[in-house]
Amino acid sequence: MFTALVEHLASRGNHAALLTDDRLISYRELADRVAASASELGSRRRLVMLEARNDVDAVVHYLGALAGGHVALPVSDGADHAAMVDLYDPDVVVRDGTVHHRHGPAHDLHPDLALLMSTSGTTGSPKLVRLSRTNLAANADAIATYLDVRPTDRAATTLPLSYCYGLSVLHSHLLRGAGLILTDHSVVEDRFWELLKRHRGTTFAGVPHTFDLLDRIGFHDMSLPHLRYVTQAGGRLAPDAVRRFASLGRSQGWRLFVMYGATEATARMAYLPPDLAHDNPTSIGVPVDGGRFELDPVDEMADGTGELVYHGPNVMMGYAQSPGDLALGRTVDALRTGDLARRTPDGLYEVVGRLSRFVKLYGLRIDLQRVEAALRTAGVDAVCTDGDGVLLVAATESLAGADVAQVAARASGLPRSAVRVLEVDEIPRLPSGKPDLRGVRALAEHTTTSDARALDLRTLVADVLHLDPATVDPRASFVDLGGNSLSYVAMSVRLERALGHLPADWPRMPLRDLEASRRDRRRWGTTLETSVALRAVAIVLVVGSHAGLYTLWGGAHVLLGIAGYNFGRFCLTPLPRAQRVRHLGSTLAWIAVPSIVWVAVALVITDDYTASNLLLANKFLGPDDSMTAGRLWFVEVVVWILVALALLCASPVADRVERRWPFACACAVLAAGLLIRFDGFGFGRDAWFTVLAFWFFAVGWAASKASAGWQRAAVTAMLAVGIVGYFGNSHRELLVFTGLALLIWLPAIRCPSALTVVAGVVAEASLLIYLVHYQVYPLFGEHRLLGVVASLLTGIALTMLLTVARKRIGPRLPGVGVTAPARR
């Protein structure tokens, strides 16, 4: 097919080739567009880097590169490929459907070379797999043969085309004249299934995580009359899942193909015939047509177990680690998989372990040695392995309070919820001194709590976040599930009561790890997060000072710092950029909407506000000479800061910078805020409550990203520089400095259980208390204490009513009630 690609496509005539939400492109039209793309790329061979999205333009340009004899380098959409561009210097870059010629042909490309692929998602490496046209054609034909792909088949693109598995679906189906349903929708979205049914889809592909999602969305109850087969690869699917889905397919009229492969084999090396899946769920099956396995003996391994070595026409030409390697011919004849395997009496192959330190999770190949090296750099003695679909990290007590799971997640490229940390006194080792990986897995199995035991935490989280408990993944964290600064107070108080303590960084811990951390609650008192305690104290100081019960100013500025602290914790998370922005938008909405509603009510029943207050823009639009002009300054500042940061977070460049240097980025923003505070940009003192107050928010942001002692000291020093002389009142400055210093240095405090509950209730209601107290306390005249108490109780009552309303309308609002993130 790849030697005469355009002719092959044209020979299929008007049969449907590509189907989208709103388009159908025939094979004849596809052939014309591929020919035009090949012509646009030029007649001389070029290295073409393409952003491989699941859309028509990406498919056309990819096929155009192959048809024109060029070398294609597909890369993931939206990621930072600057390092790849710098190293390999592609002649052409295709982005957003547009061809950018960077320069003329500048590479010596081997005549057989057709495709360069990243090694199944390996992170942090310039290594690419070199694949020939023979590799592509042989593997596409083998896959199409054992799947029995027919012209009437239509496959949904559930995987990115930058991943060898996703690309193999394209190759094998185009080879047989089948259709491709192009979509980026996840299997958890209704639109995916609507599209599959509308286009009479017959198949889709999945990695193990995809099948976890299918379990959660009720796939077993779906009516899919046209579904013929489902394929699985990208890592080991649990044996019980293989049995369940094989049985489900048998009962519903479709077949499950469990497959084994690697990018180095152009995709597939083996498949498990569907009729054998139920009784052989641990097997990888038999070699694909044209391929064969051999077992290379390994010392100290018995029962015929050895390293699995694959031979076949789909074995890669070799690796490339620099542009000079693109001129090389074949450098390997067989693929040493690094897997330990055995051959069963009935001729099936079964993988029983690994020789190397790579594992495959979430479709990514993870270098465990690289993760362990990153942990050592952070001062953590640890050993890593895989187990139960997650990365297991057995670690001794970390130095300097290092967040073991966060370090491991960043080094591996996995989401935080896919890392499970096992605290050990010392690393388990074999008599030889090598790490005992089986011992680590056994420890994980011994300490893992069942889903039934974790159900109470799932129900608790679902109640706080207004989710269906059945959709809450025990591997997900509070942040993964959409938790934010508005819901964490209620969650922290209820979690402490459930667990008997609050673990460090609990918002990012998987729920099942939280469940495993239960403690004996008989000791005195409970744990209360300092941010919650400060929030409760600060709002009481604000209300009491305004009512004239006492004079202790500065509470609102402490609240502003807490707002920044929560922004750093709950908005700048490891989630994808789009989900970050959605979470931030949701937080912004739940602050702005109640504020606007209350101002509208107050406009009707009082003379306290003006139309500019309704827009939360009094400090921008005036009037600035009314008695109540500054009443809502705190809400205005928070809302407009969040608006600005939402726009900033939406920028791919800003997103990449913050992820790479979170603490440095926060400190840079704080430094800019301090420059504004000292009028370095000439804003003038009229901006006191708006622009100049931003630096308090930035202090909280930096505090949330400070993990080491020197980092906390640096933030404290910057706080001290900014606070001195800010108010012209040393008592007020001392109060604000003390509150924010506690936020920086003291994550939690011990206090009586009753006080924890009261502080949590007051802190959760702090926004509405702030909004309503201006209208409530004046009703009590000189009875100032009654006015303060009434303001607090009114805000608490309204918060409870708002919580009930959120439970009813939350699932209907975008960004509210987000379930566990779907990663493909």
Chain segment 103-151, per-residue pLDDT in tens: 989 899 999 999 999 875 444 457 899 999 999 999 999 999 999 999 9
Q: CA angle 495-496-497, nearest 5°?
A: 90
Dist CA 285 CA 271 (whole Å): 5
Dist CA 632 CA 609 (whole Å): 9
What domains are there in the chain, each with its CATH number?
1-109 (3.40.50.980), 134-322+332-356 (3.40.50.12780), 358-447 (3.30.300.30), 529-812 (no CATH)
Question: Around Cβ 210, how many Cβ atoms within 10 Å?
Answer: 25
Dist CA 583 CA 645 (whole Å): 12
Question: Around Cβ 271, how many Cβ atoms within 10 Å?
Answer: 23
pTM of the model: 0.51
Backbone angles phi, psi at 579, to 5 degrees: -70, -35
CB-based contact 43:223 (threshold 8 Å): no
Dist CA 121 CA 116 (whole Å): 13
Q: What is the pLDDT of residue 216?
A: 80
Dist CA 270 CA 454 (whole Å): 37
How do residues 621-664 score in pLDDT, each as one tens digit? Answer: 777 655 455 788 889 889 999 998 989 888 888 888 888 788 99
- Here the tokens at position 463 are 């109640």
Dist CA 755 CA 717 (whole Å): 32
- Here the tokens at position 625 are 């000479």
DSSP assignment of 642-662 equals HHHHHHHHTSHHHHHHHHHSH
CB-based contact 610:621 (threshold 8 Å): no
Place of tokens 């152009």: 266
Q: What is the pLDDT of residue 518?
A: 58
- Here the tokens at position 749 are 């405090």
Q: Strands, DSSP E only, in 247-322? A: 255-262, 267-272, 286-287, 292-297, 306-311, 318-320
Residue 476 identity (one-letter amino acid): A
Residue 550: C-alpha distances to residues 42, 347, 771, 784, 786 (Å) = 79, 84, 20, 9, 13
Backbone angles phi, psi at 528, to 5 degrees: -125, 125
Residue 134: C-alpha distances to residues 6, 130, 139, 324, 735 (Å) = 17, 12, 8, 22, 73
Dist CA 341 CA 339 (whole Å): 6
Dist CA 134 CA 359 (whole Å): 28
The list of the chain residues with pLDDT below 50 reads: 121-124, 399-401, 432, 449-455, 520-525, 627, 684-688, 810-824
Residues pairing with 293 in the sheet: 310
CB-based contact 489:385 (threshold 8 Å): no
DSSP 592: H
Q: Is the peptide bond before 623 cis (omega within 30 degrees of 0)?
A: yes
In this structure, the dihedral spanned by the alpha carbons of residues 675, 677, 682 and 683, taken in order and rounded to 10 degrees, is 130
Residues pairing with 308 in the sheet: 295
Dist CA 442 CA 191 (whole Å): 41
Q: What is the pLDDT of residue 387?
A: 82
Dist CA 816 CA 484 (whole Å): 10
Residue (of 193, 183, 188) closest to 20 by Cα position: 183
Q: What is the pLDDT of residue 431?
A: 53
Q: What is the pLDDT of residue 686?
A: 45
Residues pairing with 19 in the sheet: 24, 181
- Residue-wise over 75-102: b if at least 16 C-beta within 10 A, else e? bbbeeebeebeeebebbbbbbeeebeee
Dist CA 324 CA 109 (whole Å): 9
Q: What is the pLDDT of residue 204?
A: 96
Residues pairing with 387 in the sheet: 390
Considering only CA atoms, give the Rg of the chain. 30
**Residue 213 CB-half CA count within 13 A:** 19
CB-based contact 612:621 (threshold 8 Å): yes
CB-based contact 454:515 (threshold 8 Å): yes
